[in-house]
A and B are shown apart, each in its own frame.
Chain A
């Protein structure tokens, strides 16, 4: 019969319409602003209204999410800070749109290059958020940030970030990407242990000979 297909289709729409109310009743007013409900609403078991009430509610950002790069510094016990970056130049060399500039300087006494950047610029108008800089940094000194609300009134002034604006402590990194941070620390400890073991072995050999 003509029209059956349309009626069936309308049935699907009706089902969706009813489901939104059913889901509201199921959570008894706790559907919104509730972490527990939120995880279900955005997962594979979601029914009912799918959208979130941005900006009151925000999507949970997964650990691997990447937006803009930032550079890391270590906070020492005595309150001083030390850059992880050694200005080796891999990130400006691999950056596909070429948005990273690094300025190096030499030690005035010895004349040898200082293994830390004097200046570090990223033009975030050009950055394509590909994450290659973070991926290939051998010192884990540049990572991708989770901050995505970066609208500003004046792009001329604000959109080339300098070293001061880019630097964030390692503790911030461990708070946004705890699992990645832990894995990297373990790898680093293992690497240093292997290095030490090798050194020991060599010394033992030297002593033996």
Chain B
């Protein structure tokens, strides 16, 4: 929401009082409907260190780039927050488009690691000082940086939807006839996919030569070798096509890094070609377990650009749907954590049973079980059908509390679960903040940070609920946080079904072509997986100029290597399960 993105008023005073060091250098971004500060490239690291240490903006939420093609410049946009709560400090760096180079903030905020790699991969912005600036979502033999405005795919139809040949021309064709297999890829000059071998296995090579050759890394005098093992991309417990490259010493993980992008479809490029309303069903496909929640993040971002608010009843319905989604997602996550631990499918199916009843509510209301596409700008697509509210009441007041308690009795005290989870995959409080972890991962490490409380959106400030915190930062605590969050969601739902008013569901008329004034907005919501942010830049045209997603599943993986070091191979699977990723969102 705009209120959140706006720079806090005390900030100017703080910057002035700091020591006037930055007051002379930093300028306010005075473009219309833009917020934040413009920082010169050479002062970036100083500025970032200073806001972290002196002003308390210790949580770097989002790093992304924008290609301002007509003005021949690139911009890197950073959103920093305080873990004690409050609005964003937005700062930006502008660089020429021909030679976009920015110092990497990885030394100040390690959580910017993957996000900077993503900006390099998709926009070609070079982050000097980044230790491993390689492609992360696209593959190594890919030509160009697809999010640049002058990049075109091999089968290029038109710059913007709607395409003219659908209407008014009506020249029907099959896409596969136009782009047969083999013609749909473009390689860089001199690149032969048949002869190319990936280099990334060598990332560990130097360490291996130096360390593993001699003895002693496992404490014994016996000569041991370390081996590199790929878990995935089709490993059954990686929750999708996701690969973890692990260096092992016996059964112990010495080093591990995640490798993703197998499901990459350049969601953001698609989004920039779409009109605003067309993006709504696409957001369903990000974290496909919690589509209602994704819809809300995007709707908030665009609504703040348009300057509208939904009616009262809609707000309640939205919160109801989003909290039901949270229950769905956490049930799924708990069930599959148990799968990853080897308790094959009995706990998962008990959890999915309840999920099914909630999906029935979505199906009856929105029309689809998973790809809900329910929210609209300033409203929702349709009102609740007759009788659905009674079903929700019955579920929320009677069945779900009972079933959650049953799941609790079933799992929480189980000795096998406890011994597999307690003390495994520990992420300390400091690391969790530094790596920009979000959601249950962050709260299990002792950081009481929930966007619903820290920076309330929609009507969350009206409801009574607790932010769930645990302090050990291990797999077990993440499990407990999720379990307790289901109860807190039920608490919110009790209040929603009690207070939900009658009334309109749409502000203004529902239009198929909304007018979005120029400007930028960052809409963020507390998704079940963590903080989901939508950074949208509009230039007043029917299609967004920039549409970026801060994906919690993606950024939470930054800390995966850290969590897995020193653990056993079998625990890596449990640790990944406890982060709870969805590949549709990780790879986008």
Q: Are A5 and B166 neighbours in the complex by a CB distance under 8 Å?
A: no
Q: Are B416 and A6 neighbours in the complex by a CB distance under 8 Å?
A: yes
B172 touches which one: A6, A93, A121, A156 (CB < 8 A)?
A121
Judge whether B161 is part of the interface by a CB distance below 8 angstroms.
yes
Asked if A132 meets B371 with Cβ closer than 8 Å, knowing A12-B410, A98-B161, the reply is no
Q: Are A130 and B346 neighbours in the complex by a CB distance under 8 Å?
A: no
A15–B246 CA distance with the chains assembled, in angstroms: 41
Q: Are A8 and B409 neighbours in the complex by a CB distance under 8 Å?
A: yes
A62 touches which one: B167, B364, B381, B409 (CB < 8 A)?
B364
Which residues in B have their C-beta under 8 angstroms from that of A92?
Answer: 162, 166-167
Which residues from 271 to 289 on chain B have a C-beta closer than 8 Å to any C-beta of chain A? 274-275, 277-282
A96–B162 CA distance with the chains assembled, in angstroms: 8
A92–B278 CA distance with the chains assembled, in angstroms: 12
Q: Are A64 and B395 neighbours in the complex by a CB distance under 8 Å?
A: no
Find the B residue at minimum CB distance from A102: B170
Q: Are A98 and B172 neighbours in the complex by a CB distance under 8 Å?
A: no
Judge whether B398 is part of the interface by a CB distance below 8 angstroms.
yes
A17 to chain B, nearest CB (A): 11
Judge whether B406 is part of the interface by a CB distance below 8 angstroms.
yes
Q: Are A2 and B415 neighbours in the complex by a CB distance under 8 Å?
A: yes
Q: Which of B138-146, B355-363, B422-430, B485-493 contacts A (4 or more CB under 8 A)?
A: B355-363
Q: Are B281 and A132 neighbours in the complex by a CB distance under 8 Å?
A: yes
A89–B356 CA distance with the chains assembled, in angstroms: 38
Which residues in B have their C-beta under 8 angstroms from that of A119?
Answer: 170, 172
A135 touches which one: B172, B381, B395, B412 (CB < 8 A)?
B381
A65–B385 CA distance with the chains assembled, in angstroms: 12
Which residues in B have their C-beta under 8 angstroms from that of A129?
Answer: 368, 371
Find the B residue at minimum CB distance from A11: B409
Q: Are A123 and B174 neighbours in the complex by a CB distance under 8 Å?
A: yes
Find the B residue at minimum CB distance from A94: B512
Which residues from 132 to 149 on chain A have a C-beta closer than 8 Å to any C-beta of chain B? 132, 135-136, 144
Q: Which of A42-50, A75-83, A188-196 contacts B (4 or more CB under 8 A)?
A: A42-50
Q: Are B167 and A94 neighbours in the complex by a CB distance under 8 Å?
A: no
Q: Are A101 and B171 neighbours in the complex by a CB distance under 8 Å?
A: yes
Which residues in B have their C-beta under 8 angstroms from that of A101?
Answer: 165-167, 170-172
Find the B residue at minimum CB distance from A13: B346
B164 to chain A, nearest CB (A): 10
Chain A window 85-120, contacts with chain B (Cβ cutoff 8 Å), 1 for yes, 0 for no? 000011011111010111110000000000000010
Find the B residue at minimum CB distance from A5: B413
B406 to chain A, nearest CB (A): 6
Q: Are B367 and A144 neighbours in the complex by a CB distance under 8 Å?
A: yes
Judge whether A63 is part of the interface by a CB distance below 8 angstroms.
yes
Judge whether A55 is part of the interface by a CB distance below 8 angstroms.
no
A144–B281 CA distance with the chains assembled, in angstroms: 15
Judge whether A160 is part of the interface by a CB distance below 8 angstroms.
yes
Which residues in B have their C-beta under 8 angstroms from that of A50?
Answer: 353, 356
Judge whether A31 is part of the interface by a CB distance below 8 angstroms.
no
Q: Are A102 and B409 neighbours in the complex by a CB distance under 8 Å?
A: no
Judge whether A4 is part of the interface by a CB distance below 8 angstroms.
yes
A132–B513 CA distance with the chains assembled, in angstroms: 12
Judge whether B465 is part of the interface by a CB distance below 8 angstroms.
no
Asked if A44 meets B168 with Cβ closer than 8 Å, knowing A6-B415, A96-B281, the reply is no
A45–B394 CA distance with the chains assembled, in angstroms: 9
Judge whether A187 is part of the interface by a CB distance below 8 angstroms.
no
Judge whether B391 is part of the interface by a CB distance below 8 angstroms.
yes
A89 to chain B, nearest CB (A): 4
Judge whether A29 is part of the interface by a CB distance below 8 angstroms.
no
Judge whether B463 is part of the interface by a CB distance below 8 angstroms.
no
Which residues in A have their C-beta under 8 angstroms from that of B385?
Answer: 62-64, 179
Judge whether B366 is part of the interface by a CB distance below 8 angstroms.
yes
Find the B residue at minimum CB distance from A16: B350
Q: Are B411 and A9 neighbours in the complex by a CB distance under 8 Å?
A: yes
Judge whether B365 is part of the interface by a CB distance below 8 angstroms.
yes
A148 to chain B, nearest CB (A): 11
Judge whether A128 is part of the interface by a CB distance below 8 angstroms.
yes
Judge whether A22 is part of the interface by a CB distance below 8 angstroms.
no
Chain B window 398-421, contacts with chain A (Cβ cutoff 8 Å), 1 for yes, 0 for no? 110000001001111111111000
B547 to chain A, nearest CB (A): 13
Q: Are B278 and A96 neighbours in the complex by a CB distance under 8 Å?
A: yes
Which residues in B have their C-beta under 8 angstroms from that of A63?
Answer: 364, 385
Q: Are B274 and A96 neighbours in the complex by a CB distance under 8 Å?
A: yes
A45–B357 CA distance with the chains assembled, in angstroms: 10
Q: Are A44 and B399 neighbours in the complex by a CB distance under 8 Å?
A: yes
A20 to chain B, nearest CB (A): 12
Which residues in A have their C-beta under 8 angstroms from that of B409?
Answer: 8-9, 11-12
Find the B residue at minimum CB distance from A46: B357
Which residues in A have their C-beta under 8 angstroms from that of B345?
Answer: none
Q: Are A44 and B391 neighbours in the complex by a CB distance under 8 Å?
A: yes
Judge whether B382 is part of the interface by a CB distance below 8 angstroms.
yes
Q: Are B381 and A93 neighbours in the complex by a CB distance under 8 Å?
A: no
Chain B window 157-186, contacts with chain A (Cβ cutoff 8 Å), 1 for yes, 0 for no? 000011101111011101100000000000
Chain B window 502-546, contacts with chain A (Cβ cutoff 8 Å), 1 for yes, 0 for no? 000000001011000000000000000000000000000000000
Judge whether A126 is part of the interface by a CB distance below 8 angstroms.
yes
Judge whether B290 is part of the interface by a CB distance below 8 angstroms.
no
A167–B205 CA distance with the chains assembled, in angstroms: 63
Chain A window 164-178, contacts with chain B (Cβ cutoff 8 Å), 1 for yes, 0 for no? 000000000000000
Q: Are B406 and A12 neighbours in the complex by a CB distance under 8 Å?
A: yes
**List of 4 A-B pairs having minimum Cβ-Cβ separation, nearest first:** A5-B413, A130-B281, A103-B170, A62-B364
Residues of A with Cβ closer than 8 Å to B?
2-6, 8-9, 11-13, 16, 42-46, 50, 62-66, 89-90, 92-96, 98, 100-104, 119, 121, 123, 125-126, 128-132, 135-136, 144, 156, 160, 179
16 A/B residue pairs, CB under 8 Å, sorted by A: A6-B416, A8-B413, A9-B411, A9-B413, A43-B357, A44-B399, A63-B364, A64-B366, A94-B277, A95-B162, A96-B279, A102-B170, A103-B170, A123-B174, A132-B278, A136-B510
Residues of B with Cβ closer than 8 Å to A?
161-163, 165-168, 170-172, 174-175, 274-275, 277-282, 346, 350, 353, 356-357, 360, 363-368, 371, 373, 381-382, 385-386, 391, 394-395, 398-399, 406, 409-418, 510, 512-513
